[in-house]
Structure 1
Amino acid sequence: MSKKKINWLSLFLEFFVVLVGILIAFQLTEYAESKRREQNLETHFNDIFKETEYNQRNFSYAKSIADWNLKKIDSTLTLILEKGDLNEINRLSHDILNYGGLYIRQNAYTSLVESGDMKYFKRFEERKAVVDLYEYYVWVQLIESLSSNSFSEDIIPYFKANFDLVNQTVQPRSSYDNKQYLNALATYRMSIAQKITKYADCEKIIAGFIKFYNER
């Protein structure tokens, strides 16, 4: 019985065809995955841009309230120190209770981080622009929390103990013109001034990010 001769050339060609097919399939898969990552990153970037525009409006509103509060405190301190009209001092004091505050939306950034897509940024400038923006938000939130603490720990307790929050009736001058209340106002004023400065700085960062997005 004769042995069947192996056609090595045919076998090699079949192996080669299979290998090429596997390599092509692998390349196509890699290309499809790369395109998917690019699309995901673009979606993340667009969502962050929309979120930034939303935050920009919030910053503008919060800054206007903070400016308003700062002026109210300055007017109140001036009137108290100059022994001014008690009705006006009382009115301004109650106006200060309009705290305002700032909400910074971070849903889009959280989605980017949790997805793990952050590492796929091809351009360092894009990744840096996003990270810098949201890191600055952290600084703003820290200053915001200090101002909130001053409001809740210095202003609110004094009002509850010494003012008529229901009817807002005028109190004796001693309720306004005393070291505790003046120090509480001064401390709160300093925290508001700090956050106004931080708001303004962050507005520049936001404007820079929006400019970067539109020019990319």
Structure 2
Amino acid sequence: MLGLLSIDECLQTDGLYPGVFAPLEVISPHIFQLWKTRQTDKQIVQNLWNHYDTSHYGLGLMKFVQIQVGMGLLHTWQQSHTVESIGDAMIDLQEIYPNAGAQEMVSLLFHERAMSVSRNIVMAYFTKYEVDLVRQCKACRLWRKWFWAAGVNDLFAVNQHNKWLRFGLALHTGIELFSGCIMWMQELGHMPMVTQSDPGSENFSITNAHTMLHQWHDPTLQGTLQHCWM
């Protein structure tokens, strides 16, 4: 039925049935899960069409924003965090993750404290309160460490190799560390317990998606991050 209107028309007019909104009890769990993946409002509204009867209900951007705010799911600019407002959460998280960098801390704040904070604010916090940690990160020191895996498929390490980009080829690979086997997650039919990567931006989507999928299957994992930043 949505095909009778363009996507933009559906987003702006609540679809074919303006004023007859999708039941909140049906869509609110999906809104939360999609928000955790950091999709845009437009993307969430479009994905929600798969979870309610679009032949009877509609949902546009304006109504969705009202629902989202009512659920307390605010974007970074709406939460308006400052160096001071994230202080307590940063102290608590640093006790658990003492070597977490700025991007990892952004992810931890979002998944474990439901705080959407810009990287610039976290960097400003580190610059003000963690001078030694910033100096150590800038030194790019590599430390040899032992890690333990419970067995096959317990831990995947992922990273992107961009040295062939001039040929139009970027390799984003996952390695099963226990066996050393190179594989792709989507080919397995199951998930590892934890993924691991450096804090490169190419790995953020894997972190968010992997954490969301685990929380989807096990609600007791809400507020945790199923990824290990190196």
Shorter-chain TM-score tier: under 0.3
Which structure has the bigger radius of gyration? 1
Give the number of the structure with larger relative contact order, counting CA–CA contacts within 8 Å between residues 6 or more apart.
1
